[in-house]
Amino acid sequence: MSKVLIQAMVLPMTGPDRFYPQGEICIEDDRIISVGELGSAPAGFVPDRVLDLPNDVVMPGLINTHTHAAMTLLRGYADDLPLMPWLNEKVWPFEDKLTDEDIYWGTALALCEMIRSGTTTMLDMYASMDQVAEVVLKAGTRAVLARGLIGNGPNGNRALQESIDLVQRYHGAGAGRVNVMFGPHAPYTCSAEYLRKVKVEADRLGVGIHIHVAETQDEIKILQDQYGKTPVQWLDELGLFGGHVVAAHCVHLTPEDMEILARKHVCVAHNAESNMKLNSGTAPIIELRAQGVVVSLGTDGASSNNNLDLFGEMRSAAFQQKLCKGSTVLPAYEVLEMATVAGAQTLGLEDVGMLAPGFKADLITIDMDQPHFYPRFSIPAHLVYVAHAGDVRTVMVDGKLLMEERKLLTMDVSKVCQEAETRAKRISAELMDK
């Protein structure tokens, strides 16, 4: 049994008034057993490891609820375009050339970046998900994996079978670190018949569904022309909602759409930076939250962001809403909740997202002894408006250290960078030769 004691400033995310300026957390194996002021450890707790970090804040690991990890290989390859030309002219031709091994190394690159920026859990939608699962298991992070499904013809049916196999092989793998959902790509790439099949299979296997919804005005027009409905109303009519559904983007919503999402308990993964970069629009986050919709944060892939830093994403999400709705909306603590507590709710993970007894020891520490963090009026404000990836010192998942003093312990970063560089350049050269 391993016993770890962390002494630091503790922001447990169990309520806006909870903060221990001189605090400690006791961890036994994969779980937190106590959180409180210095000296609050249970009697008889003898740690075999002490992390004495009085100038660090310890908080729950960040949760990225919408990404395409292996798209790190496309970082900087397809910039300055709106969604549809970006996908059709650049992204999909590149992705057609990806091998299983490419996706393994692209995901490995994403996980190095995520760990170094304090992200402990991701919801990933992509292809070759066995490779993704294997690299997640090796890296030691937590993940929910959705095989992306584009519903036309035999490819769609093959991908659906891969989703079913993925559930059987990896749902609950790594002592529960890896889980699986179904990932129909979007209402404009999946037919009605295909979406109904996906829902039947997801229900049969008892897993959730992850889908892009109402991302652009182009999508609204396509759905209006094809079905005479908004994307949300169309998916609702098909019966896709009702179970566990995570809808990414949700930028262009009517009041009726928002009412449906709230009533059907659909969770929304908000991707502020991707929505800005692709000029998709500003999602109605304040209105959704006011209706009781759980809204968490995603980076989307590294080709539309172009990084996987959830600290940057928190800042952008807050600033974008303030620009459009007024400076008082989305105070810092609420944004931190979106990146932690709401992330866990979105993924259906009941024992992560907070630091509390009985919860998994998924946590990060941030080095606050740096010029950009002084004076220390408000720790939540500093974490949202000031902090960035490079401030993360320590990362732990399931009670195991994945990064210490900014050194990754489970990944060979230089090997990963070199593989990613070679593979991405090979594909771009192949595309230029055509």
Ligand X SMILES: CSC[C@H]1O[C@@H](n2cnc3c(O)ncnc32)[C@H](O)[C@@H]1O
State how far the Cα of 165 lies from the Cα of 179, in Å rounded to an integer.
13
Instruction: Indicate whether 362 belongs to the interface with ligand X (CB under 6 A).
Output: no
Please give the Cα distance from 65 to 123 (Å, whole number).
5
User: Which residue number, 180 or 186, has a Cβ lying nearer to ligand X?
Assistant: 186
Nearer to ligand X, 150 or 173 (CB): 150
For ligand X, the closer of residues 59 and 149 by Cβ is 149
- Report, in Å, the least distance between residue 304 CB and Zn ion: 7
Nearer to Zn ion, 62 or 211 (CB): 211
Q: Which of 300, 313, 362, 398 contacts Zn ion by CB under 5 A?
A: 300
Q: Six-digit token pair at 286?
A: 């304040």
Contact by Cβ (8 Å): 339, 297: yes
| Distance from C-alpha of 113 to C-alpha of 275, rounded to nearest angstrom | 21
- 382 assigned to a ligand binding site: no
Q: Which of 124, 215, 391, 419 binds ligand X (CB under 6 A)?
A: 215
Contact segment (CB under 5 A) with Zn ion among 154-162, 174-182, 226-234, 298-306 equals 298-306
**Beta carbon nearer to Zn ion, 87 or 416:** 87
Choose one: 21-29, 230-238, 294-302, 317-325; the region binding Zn ion (CB under 5 A): 294-302
Please tell me whether 219 is known to bind a ligand. Answer: no
208 binds ligand X (CB under 6 A): no
We find the least distance from the C-beta atom of residue 250 to Zn ion, in angstroms, to be 12
76 CB-contact burial (10 Å; exposed 0-12 / middle 13-18 / buried 19+): exposed
The β-bridge partners of 113 are none
Q: How far is it, in rounded angstroms, from Cα 324 to Cα 284?
A: 10
**Whole-angstrom distance, CA of residue 377 vs CA of residue 295:** 27
SS3 64: strand
Site for ligand X in 84-103 (CB under 6 A): 87, 91, 95
C-alpha–C-alpha distance, residues 108 and 423, integer Å: 13
Q: Segment 275-334, which members bind ligand X (CB under 6 A)?
A: 300-301, 304
Q: In this structure, are strands 407-408 and 400-404 parallel, antiparallel, or unpaired?
A: antiparallel
**CA separation, residue 327 to residues 15, 319, 323, 330, 333 (Å):** 22, 8, 7, 8, 14
Out of ligand X, Zn ion, none, which partner does residue 252 contact, by CB within 5 to 8 A per kind? none
> Alpha-carbon distance 196 to 125, whole Å?
19
Per-residue three-class SS string for 175-232: HHCEEEEEEECCCCCECHHHHHHHHHHHHHHCCCEEEEECCCHHHHHHHHHHHCCCHH
53-82 residues near ligand X, rule: CB under 6 A: 68
d(CA 272, CA 370): 27
For residues 268 and 271, what is the distance between their CA atoms, to the nearest angstrom? Answer: 10
Using CB under 5 A as the binding rule, whether residue 124 contacts Zn ion is answered as: no
The stretch among 120-128, 130-138, 168-176, 314-322 that binds ligand X (CB under 6 A) is 120-128
**Minimum distance, C-beta of residue 55 to ligand X, in the bound complex (Å):** 38
Provide, for the chain, the percentages of residues in helix, strand and coil under a 3-state DSSP scheme, each rounded to the nearest 5.
45, 25, 35
219 part of the interface to ligand X, by CB under 6 A: no
Cβ closest to Zn ion, residue 56 vs residue 300: 300
Q: Residue 95 Cβ, how far from ligand X at the closest point, in Å? A: 5
CA distance 400 to 285: 34
Q: Of the two residues 300 and 391, which places its CB atom closer to Zn ion in the complex?
A: 300
Residue span 9-48 as binding mask against ligand X, x where in contact by CB under 6 A, dash where not: ----------------------------------------
Is 24 one of the annotated binding-site residues? no
Determine which residue in the list 110, 125, 250, 335 makes contact with ligand X, applying CB under 6 A. Answer: 125
> Which lies closer to ligand X via its Cβ, residue 190 or residue 355?
190
Binding annotation: 66, 68, 95, 147, 158, 185, 212, 215, 300
Q: Which residues bind ligand X (CB under 6 A)?
A: 68, 83, 87, 91, 95, 125-127, 148, 150, 185-186, 212, 215, 274, 300-301, 304
